[in-house]
Amino acid sequence: MNLLQFLFILALSVTVIAEKKSYDGYKLYKVVPKTEKEVEILEEIRDARFADFWNEYFKVNDDVRMLVEPDLQLVVQGRLMHAGVQVSTIIEDVQKVINKQLTPIKDPSRSSSFLSYDWEAYHDLNAIERWLDELVTEYPSIVSPVTMGYSVENRTIRGIVINYNPSRDKPAAIIEGTLHAREWISTAAVTWIIKEFLTSNDEDVRAMAENLEWHIFPVVNPDGYVYTFTDDRMWRKNRSPASFTSCAANNVSDDMSNGVDLNRNFDFEWMTIGASNNSCTNTYAGPSAASEPETKAISNYVLNVKEKADIVYYLSFHSFTQLFILPYSHVTNVTQFPADNHDDLVEIAINSTQKLSERFGTHYRVGIAAEVLYPMGGSSFDWAKAYGNASISYLIELRDEGQYGFLLPPEQIIPNNLEIMDALVEMDKSTKRLGYYVPTSAASTSIYSLALITLAVLSVNLFN
Ligand SMILES: [Zn+2]
């Protein structure tokens, strides 16, 4: 390499480093507004763009998380203190926590690798795609690769279908991960579910894996996910440049307008509530319903699956707050528009979250979005319920309750995944008990055969 080439490469790497957004010295604050007046002060800070709020809406007594850059910390703290609002610092230096997510302290007792993948750190899109390839090679008769469609930047939205005994007809289930780019625990949980379906010896996990045809997509927003690694860890939306504009009025960088919130873009109650028509915000719903290729890819995929089989489950994994959210999300009161099987959805979610809490005592709440979060239109799981006829459709907000939020430390990946698997097993038991599908796999048939043989033996004995 000559000097010129060296300088060129150096300049390139400096550019790359300079482009990546640093969160050095950023602090994460927690505020719990005690009165409507305190809610108004938070709204004032939000409207002045002095902080990046991790909650879209504020309610009295509900925790609020806000990320504040170093230059604005005195202003924000001063405003809150002046109004008598209590504020505590949750993360002193956000960049340090971001770095820790990628370079965890290795603990051999927690080793969890499966082929080239593990759950001791968060992994980028290349690592996930490499692993999906390995699964197809290792389990050729069970795992097939599948393409859902293409992203704005023309990345393939890749997933796998897990189908034990493909010759036997069975109902379908769809798992969608990482619709929101920065919610990395979603990716880690969905990949774990794949691992469990392929390797677990637990009878209930086996039954769940084998009785359904699973369509699993760890990252449905690949452009956004890649962007959280290369440019901005806190990116949420896709990377559509179609609504690019100046964001000076919003006091955020113009780059904020390069993206649509995919969980507001679905053609179900689009832009009716809890969404923005301003591309400089994190909840920008897009120029029209289902305008985004990622949204179209998911919608078309669900409709194709629906043509061939009943969809029992549609699970959309997000973070954070620890919630099982039931359809529908646009109403402010469940009586306005309850899902046709609302009571079952509640019962199954309550059973699942109770089971979840047994392992580590983690508490999840259950309800429609208006009850546990805030109402919103245009979400994927509502759409999948309404148009995909998915019997059991949930949006699951994973760990934590806001201590680290999107920056959940890697040590919590495995505990998060273990308890979520407990919840899914219980979900499947309750769903079967309520008659949503009849198990047909070898795993369950063997139990039934055993019961029949026992009965036969018993009757022979009776008649003797
Ligand atoms: Zn989300």
pLDDT of residue 19: 72
- Are 341 and 419 within 8 A, CB to CB? no
Model confidence at 112, pLDDT cuts 50, 70, 90, reads confident
- Are 55 and 320 within 8 A, CB to CB? no
Both 188 and 300 in one domain: the answer is yes
Both 374 and 411 in one domain: the answer is yes
Query: Is residue 19 assigned to a domain?
Result: no
Ion ligand 1 neighbours (CB, 5 A) are 180, 183, 318
Mean pLDDT, range 412-417, rounded to an integer: 97
CA of 60 to the centre of ligand 1 (A): 22
- Are 327 and 393 within 8 A, CB to CB? yes
Model confidence at 213, pLDDT cuts 50, 70, 90, reads very high
Both 119 and 91 in one domain: the answer is no
- Asked if 397 is an active-site residue, the reply is yes
Is residue 444 over pLDDT 90? no
Model confidence at 446, pLDDT cuts 50, 70, 90, reads very low
Query: Is residue 6 assigned to a domain?
Result: no
- Per-residue pLDDT of 269-283, as tens digits, reads 999 999 999 999 999
pLDDT of residue 257: 98
Query: Is residue 79 assigned to a domain?
Result: yes
Domain assignment of residue 185, given as a range:
110-226+266-433
Both 275 and 190 in one domain: the answer is yes
Both 91 and 114 in one domain: the answer is no
- 383 or 457: which carries more pLDDT confidence? 383
Both 170 and 303 in one domain: the answer is yes
Rg (CA), the chain: 23
Both 38 and 151 in one domain: the answer is no
pLDDT of residue 102: 82
CA of 459 to the centre of ligand 1 (A): 56
pLDDT of residue 3: 53
- Per-residue pLDDT of 19-37, as tens digits, reads 789 999 999 999 999 999 9
CA of 378 to the centre of ligand 1 (A): 13
Buried b (16+ CB within 10 A) or exposed e, 135-168: beeeeeebbeebebbbbbeebebbbbbbbbeeee
Query: Is residue 8 assigned to a domain?
Result: no
Both 123 and 147 in one domain: the answer is yes
- Are 382 and 329 within 8 A, CB to CB? yes
CA of 186 to the centre of ligand 1 (A): 9
Write the CATH number for 303: 3.40.630.10
Write the CATH number for 44: 3.30.70.340
Strands in 64-68's sheet, in edge-to-edge order, are 52-53, 64-68, 27-31, 87-91
CA of 37 to the centre of ligand 1 (A): 28
Q: Which of 176, 100, 66, 94 is nearest to 413 (CA)?
A: 100
Give me the catalytic one of 183, 292, 397, 426. 397
Query: Is residue 118 assigned to a domain?
Result: yes
Final residue in a domain of this structure, among 67, 95, 123: 95
Query: Is residue 12 assigned to a domain?
Result: no
CA of 34 to the centre of ligand 1 (A): 26
- Per-residue pLDDT of 449-460, as tens digits, reads 445 445 544 554
Model confidence at 5, pLDDT cuts 50, 70, 90, reads low
* Dmax (CA) of the chain: 97
Both 128 and 70 in one domain: the answer is no
Q: What are phi and psi of 110, to 5 degrees?
A: -100, 10
Mean pLDDT, range 387-402, rounded to an integer: 97
CA of 340 to the centre of ligand 1 (A): 25
Query: Is residue 221 assigned to a domain?
Result: yes
pLDDT of residue 452: 47
Both 177 and 42 in one domain: the answer is no
Per-chain mean pLDDT for the chain: 91
CA of 306 to the centre of ligand 1 (A): 25
| Domains of the chain: total | 2
Instruction: List the alpha helices (DSSP H) in 177-262.
Output: 184-199, 203-211, 222-230
Model confidence at 47, pLDDT cuts 50, 70, 90, reads confident
Mean pLDDT, range 61-79, rounded to an integer: 94
Q: Which of 410, 317, 329 is nearest to 364 (CA)?
A: 317
Give the whole-number percent of the chain exceeding pLDDT 90.
83
Is residue 448 over pLDDT 80? no
| Spatial distance between the Cα atoms of 374 and 126, rounded to a whole number of angstroms | 34
Instruction: List the alpha helices (DSSP H) in 20-109.
Output: 36-47, 73-82, 94-102
Dihedral sign, Cα of residue 398, residue 61, residue 23, residue 96: negative
CA of 309 to the centre of ligand 1 (A): 28
CA of 222 to the centre of ligand 1 (A): 14
Give 375's contacts (C-beta < 8 A, 6+ positions apart): 273, 274, 329, 330, 331, 332, 369
Both 288 and 367 in one domain: the answer is yes
Question: Looking at the DSSP assignment, which residues form a beta bridge with residue 161?
Answer: 144, 215
Model confidence at 104, pLDDT cuts 50, 70, 90, reads confident
pLDDT of residue 48: 86
Say how many Å lie between the first and final Cα of the chain, rounded: 92
Model confidence at 419, pLDDT cuts 50, 70, 90, reads very high
Model confidence at 284, pLDDT cuts 50, 70, 90, reads very high
Q: Look-up: residue for tokens 């482009």?
A: 19
CA of 108 to the centre of ligand 1 (A): 32
Mean pLDDT, range 249-271, rounded to an integer: 96
pLDDT of residue 110: 67
Model confidence at 250, pLDDT cuts 50, 70, 90, reads confident
Model confidence at 17, pLDDT cuts 50, 70, 90, reads very low
| Spatial distance between the Cα atoms of 221 and 223, rounded to a whole number of angstroms | 6
Region of residue 87 (phi > 0: left; psi between -120 and 50: alpha; otherwise: beta): beta
pLDDT of residue 462: 46
Query: Is residue 16 assigned to a domain?
Result: no
Helix (H) or strand (E) holding 312: strand 311-319
Both 84 and 129 in one domain: the answer is no
- Are 190 and 317 within 8 A, CB to CB? yes
CA of 180 to the centre of ligand 1 (A): 5
CA of 127 to the centre of ligand 1 (A): 22
Model confidence at 401, pLDDT cuts 50, 70, 90, reads very high
| Spatial distance between the Cα atoms of 282 and 418, rounded to a whole number of angstroms | 31
